[in-house]
Amino acid sequence: MSIAYQQLNKVKGQKGSTIISVKKVSKSYGQKKVLDAISFDISAGEIFGLLGSNGAGKSTITKIMLGFELANKGKVVFFNGGPFDHKTKISIVPQQIAAYLDFTVQTNMEYFTSLTKIPKKEQKKRIDFLLNWLDLQDFKQMKIRYLSGGYQRLVNIALSLISDPEIIFLDEPTVGLDPKMRQMFWQKIKELQEAGKTIILTTHYMDEAERLCTKLVLLKNGKLIKKGRPKELIRNFGGLGLLELELDKRLTTRHFTLVQKQLPKNLIYLKNKTILIPYKQSQNFGEIISTTKSIIDAKYSIKSIYLKEPNLEDVFLNITGEKMGDTK
């Protein structure tokens, strides 16, 4: 049974206020420019997505935000420029396993906790809570190398949360995980957001970004080409939806003409026994439902209905001309 995430300290940033500002950041390696005047703001308490194909600049801007790289131009401002402790306020959950493979889960937790400023009397309480919250209690005496990839990732999260950071960077957190473990990760990420944490998520999974992110930026060749909320981007750049109706028999020419007349704004297609109806998201869907009823009234049986809504994959393709994963 899932338990709510508990915090040692209240989150400093007020929800909705700007917690990170990336201001005209540029970066070059020799003659190759990998970031070109990138600017965006991240608000406290949101899940912010960095999306783009390989070579888009996601890793570079993340390294600059974390202080692992220096920008050639521009700057990154945390907490409106006020003083803060990087070690306690910011954490990263890397793709690679950050734990000691020949230590047990418990030993790793104890060691990493000893490096923090958490009072000793609180350390055990914190470890026990994280083990329970991430369903790791049954594995705490196992060496890391013997855990499955999914549970090793959970240990990564546990270690990153020991200091109770306000800002958490997640680098491709669900790569290679099975669907059940992915769903568990998504739930834990949501719970962290509900606790007021700010999440910066790097991912190439469009369904993951669409499900989790409250806001995102789309990068291509070092340039920021779009930013906004997933639903807004899908509405503005996702293109058409598609309704497929599979019938028990092919529509006659007369009935097909009738369908076209009922939906004059749609380009209707007939493929064997299947009617394909592309539609705009702003369209009154009642018109399509009425048309479906008229097909049934004409003595056709609808064997199956498939509705494909536009998604972030469509947005990415329509804006960039690439499929996610392309390396142009």
What pLDDT was estimated at residue 246? 94
Quote the pLDDT of residue 327: 45
Residue 2 has a pLDDT of 64
Return per-residue pLDDT of the chain as tens, 328 residues: 467 887 776 665 567 789 999 999 999 999 999 999 999 999 999 999 999 887 889 999 999 999 999 999 999 999 888 777 777 789 999 888 999 999 999 999 999 999 888 888 899 999 999 999 999 999 999 999 999 989 999 999 999 999 899 999 999 888 888 899 899 999 999 999 999 999 999 988 889 999 999 999 999 999 999 999 999 999 999 998 888 999 999 999 999 888 888 888 888 889 999 999 888 876 767 778 888 888 998 999 999 999 899 999 899 888 877 666 554 4
Q: Please report the pLDDT score of residue 186 as a whole number.
A: 93
pLDDT of residue 324: 61
Residue pointed to by tokens 């058409």 = 240
pLDDT recorded at residue 328? 41
Tokens standing for residue 181: 């473990």
CATH architecture of 240-309: 2-Layer Sandwich (3.30)
CA distance 93 to 201: 10
Classify domain 18-235 at the CATH superfamily level. Answer: P-loop containing nucleotide triphosphate hydrolases (3.40.50.300)
CA distances for 295 relative to 269, 302, 319, 324, angstroms: 15, 8, 36, 38
Quick one: pLDDT at residue 11?
Answer: 62
Q: Would the CA dihedral through 224, 228, 229, 231 be positive or negative? A: negative
Give me the residue spans of the domains in the chain: 18-235, 240-309
- pTM across the whole model: 0.85
